[in-house]
Amino acid sequence: MTLPSLMLLLFAVFSSAGGQIMLKHGMKGAAAAAAQGGGSLALRAATSPWVVLGLVVFAVSAIAWMTTLAKVPLSIAYPFNALGYLLIVLAGATVLHERTSMWTWGGSLLVVVGLFTVMAGQQR
């Protein structure tokens, strides 16, 4: 895999995770606003800057992912999605202040070990 392809792939993974975090943050706020002031959750979500930004970032990540698939074999590109799981757990714990257990961290570590195992096999 070339360096530009790797950079595009990492951009797709990181932007997808970032978009998900923005969506979660926006939906949490939209749900709280709908519960407090009444009104539709869908309307609150549609007018939430975080939800809109999250959707835009997620759409950009989808375009980056499709471009990656045009350049990189799926058997190499897809395992990199495992990084997204780790990023989500890290951001959930640090940015969203979600509780995570040792089981969550252990499972995330296994996912990363799996990614390295797959990539080591691709290098041969």
The total domain count for the chain is 1
Higher pLDDT, 71 or 80: 71
Could you report the per-residue pLDDT of 59-78, keeping only the tens digit for each? 999 999 999 999 998 988 88
Question: Does residue 18 register a pLDDT over 90?
Answer: yes
Task: Write the secondary structure of 75-98 as one string of H (helix), E (strand) and C (coil).
Answer: HHHHHHHHHHHHHHHHHHHHCCCC
Mean pLDDT, all residues of the chain: 91
Domain that holds residue 7: 3-122
Could you report the per-residue pLDDT of 35-58, keeping only the tens digit for each? 998 788 999 999 999 999 999 999
Handedness of CA 85, 87, 89, 95 (dihedral sign): negative
